[in-house]
Chain A
């Protein structure tokens, strides 16, 4: 991997890292255009921190000129991946100010008129992840073997002028004309023609239909729930009152409602042989969760590594889940109310299903965690942007590598040895609180005392080795 062509070191400082687990340690911070690294000679010069700048949500100065006491003057960094970082500087000199300014500038490129690191990333991989999802090929696979399929491909939206948040290629009912579609789009919210989603109108419009309301909460409730969870587990977990604390976050309850919905859909389709319309307010949050989860349960192809990548590309990326808004890539406005962990929730649901059916999935836990890490890292173009139109305009595919390029080039790391390919049944997980578990391997992985967590140390090594691969040339 040609790391040295695109990563360069911006600056290095002498600071103390106030680690909640190992205690305070002095060392050096290196900030590259991609990430933040911290080394400490007290720990055999090993890399203690490796934090992609994309993970940073908020940077604050702590302590003022009147602060007394050791370690009271420094910087606090809030991260999107369930941890916070606290550094202490000497008051003399301007090291804090310079470090603060550097991080603010490079962690929030959008707010500073800079490009995402992904756009500068010229890494080459053996596999091309952008080729994983081919809408035409996927459509052909879905209608394969069906005589006179009731669906066809339409290029009506090729220029995104019917609906700008939908993809260019749409699968539509065979007998539906272009005019029909335009009329439908005109009274749909933002022109989003019902796909797997529909409007909730009154019963008269839909005879012979059963309505099921799934009480899945909105994005604000989910954001708050995750915030409470982070408070509960980082940096310390309560010894007593753990279960009541966990219950008070409602995080597992939300997982349960989503999973329950997906199981209902799968039951309707597989057992009762009916069609299902899934609808939420806009169709890019809860709809995406439900449809992709239901498909995972119904179709074993989506449980393979490439099939899952395809699923994400189709049901999330191209269907218009607003990754940019929900994650806030490179945006310093940490309090934006449009931010919400909807995709994380979906991956958590997937993880719950892999726990209940450990032999049914080709990918392992490490893969799911890698997806979540790169959701924030901005190392790849996969999760940038809000919809296909904006991605096409900014030429994401041409300029950035795809996350799937990395994954498919290193399959052996992400494949589960327990996978049983012959198992092609429909899965019916039990969405009971008695079965759902908190995903310790993701939410509490920073706590070294919790065994069995997946350690993300793929880039870590000895300080000199890593720094030497970062040349000082600019792009």
Chain B
């Protein structure tokens, strides 16, 4: 279901906003729904029975209470609700000189924070600790954005799906970002600000500039953006962890029991199976992702590394740059000797984004996907990705055949099939030997997998696994968990 923002009914030529308190006594001609995911839907009731249309309106203005059972967290994401999670993270980050304290365990000291506030710096000894220090009164808005982005740039683990989700838990959920207020779930208008959306947009820009370094794709970010507006997930419903805990349906006594169960009263957004079937979840991945190799020992002096990074990444005016021309842009290769180049070019796990204005783009998939004139039929970057997947698969098949021939063993069909079944359905549908037509680009749109309604009715869509995916069936024909009305998986 699409989370609404505002709904209007047109009656007798007048447009009125529908509020929970409105008593609906009239039958509308038009119903206009503004959705929080930038979509506008209109329904016309010319040919509808008046009683029916009135009932639709009445149904809309009632709020719905959702009764939820306990959900367990099996997404693999670190929730950071237990001290063990923090201990592990400290070790991973090699944070020397810091410790986990349980002093705020029952929120005795502060209801707003659950961890001590740290200061940020880049420690040259190949370890890092990240920041919550920012010139902000409350430290729960831009702090979260900056802290998260810094870690995404520095730490390859944060660019994996599980790592990214753990990062959001740590820097947003547990840090007390006011999701309830900022996303305005209750329509109380107490400080609605799209801070998290801003963060996701920054992430998308990084994804565009460095497509091979992220395990998740653009669809993941769009879906995450949509999910924040579904008032269902405990992740995004509260203003603080304290509120999250106390709003639980369990008795107060259970709050002191430290189990995983405690943390899972409301479903976590990270359990994607709640929204998508297994094949649809493949679409959240990034087909261009290249696993980062473990980094070599860096033998150069840490201070030199720090200096060159400062010149290049942070864009301060070094003597190699002209004022106003290259500020904030990447370090040109020519300025350094080959020694320095080896050092600067591949610092362990570091991303340096280019901040030049021409490179910042509008996130089309998220903001423009519902406009019917926008999607390019048979075009867009998704077509290139599909082609890449096809080529990669061909190469792998040939490699496998080559290996088996070289080993002089007879190739068994089952081993090849097993290998192929590990591929995502996107690639499976492109088997050259299959009966599916190679013309799959016909069924692709540039806004894939989001389909604005109305376009497909004019064309006959070939029955390929891809089109089945679009219409809610798995590659082999079973129905997926699909929301058919919205044409979205």
Contact = CB atoms under 8 A, between A and B. Distances in A.
B376 A429 contact: yes
Interface stretch (B78-86, B176-184, B437-445): B437-445
A449 B326 CA distance: 7
Contacts of A449: 326, 329-330, 332, 354, 356
B378 A357 contact: yes
A113 interface: no
Interface string B389-416: 0010000000000000000000000000
A451 B354 contact: yes
Nearest to A359: B387
A256 to B, nearest CB: 14
B379 interface: yes
A333 to B, nearest CB: 31
B322 interface: yes
Interface stretch (A175-183, A206-214, A372-380, A440-448): A440-448
B267 interface: no
A434 B320 contact: no
B326 A21 contact: yes
Contacts of A36: none
Nearest to A450: B356
B442 A425 contact: yes
B459 interface: no
A263 to B, nearest CB: 11
Contact of B441 (A423, A429, A451): A423
A236 B325 CA distance: 5
A69 interface: no
Contacts of B361: 437
Interface string A418-431: 10101101011110
A430 B334 contact: no
Interface stretch (A100-108, A216-224, A237-245): A237-245
Given A418-B388, A427-B379, A449-B354, A20 B359 contact: no
A324 interface: no
A356 interface: yes
A43 B378 CA distance: 47
Contacts of B442: 425
B358 A438 contact: yes
B8 interface: no
B446 interface: yes
B379 A434 contact: no
A239 B325 contact: no
B325 A434 contact: no
Contact of B325 (A235, A359, A418, A437): A235
Contacts of B354: 449-451
A429 B379 contact: yes
Interface in B351-369: 354, 356-359, 361-362, 364, 368
A238 B325 CA distance: 8
Nearest to B386: A359
B322 A356 contact: no
A356 B356 contact: no
B335 interface: yes
B468 to A, nearest CB: 21
Interface string A2-25: 000000000000000000111100
Contact of B376 (A238, A242, A435, A448): A435
Contact of A242 (B358, B387, B438): B358
B387 A23 contact: no
B4 interface: no
Interface string B421-453: 000000000000000001101100010000000
A418 B333 CA distance: 29
Interface residues of B, number: 45
B322 A20 contact: yes
Contacts of A78: none
A432 interface: yes
Interface string B310-347: 00000000011110111111101111010000000000
Contacts of A434: 362, 364, 368, 374
Nearest to A420: B387
Contacts of B441: 359, 420, 423, 425
A46 interface: yes
B383 A357 contact: yes
Contacts of A238: 357
A21 B378 contact: no
B117 interface: no
Nearest to A243: B357
Nearest to B385: A358
Contacts of B438: 422
B51 interface: no
A359 B374 CA distance: 19
Contacts of B209: 451
A236 B327 CA distance: 10
B380 interface: yes
Among B329, B332, B368, the one with the most A-chain Cβ atoms within 10 Å of its Cβ is B329
Nearest to A19: B322
A41 interface: no
A417 interface: yes
B63 to A, nearest CB: 36
Contacts of A437: 361
A21 B388 contact: no
Nearest to A234: B325
Contacts of A46: 334
Given A422-B438, A449-B332, A430 B374 contact: yes
B56 interface: no
B332 A448 contact: yes
A449 B332 CA distance: 6
A246 B359 CA distance: 13
B357 A428 contact: no
Contacts of A417: 391
Interface in A197-212: none
Contacts of B381: 358
B332 A237 contact: no
B439 A422 contact: yes
Contact of A418 (B326, B358, B384): B384
Given A236-B325, A358-B384, A22 B334 contact: yes
B359 A450 contact: yes
Interface in A340-376: 356-359
B334 A43 contact: yes
B65 interface: no
Nearest to A238: B357
B47 interface: no
A356 B319 CA distance: 41
B373 interface: yes
B316 to A, nearest CB: 14
B358 A237 contact: yes
Nearest to B330: A449
A357 B358 CA distance: 22
B322 A21 contact: yes
B3 to A, nearest CB: 25
A440 B354 CA distance: 13
A420 B389 CA distance: 13
Given A21-B332, A22-B334, A425-B439, 18 more contacts: A21-B322, A21-B326, A44-B337, A233-B358, A236-B324, A237-B358, A238-B357, A242-B358, A357-B378, A358-B383, A425-B378, A425-B441, A425-B442, A430-B374, A434-B368, A440-B358, A450-B329, A450-B359
27 contacts: A20-B322, A21-B322, A22-B332, A233-B358, A238-B357, A240-B357, A242-B358, A243-B357, A356-B376, A357-B376, A358-B379, A418-B388, A422-B438, A423-B441, A429-B379, A430-B374, A430-B375, A430-B376, A434-B362, A435-B364, A435-B374, A440-B359, A448-B326, A448-B330, A448-B332, A450-B329, A451-B359
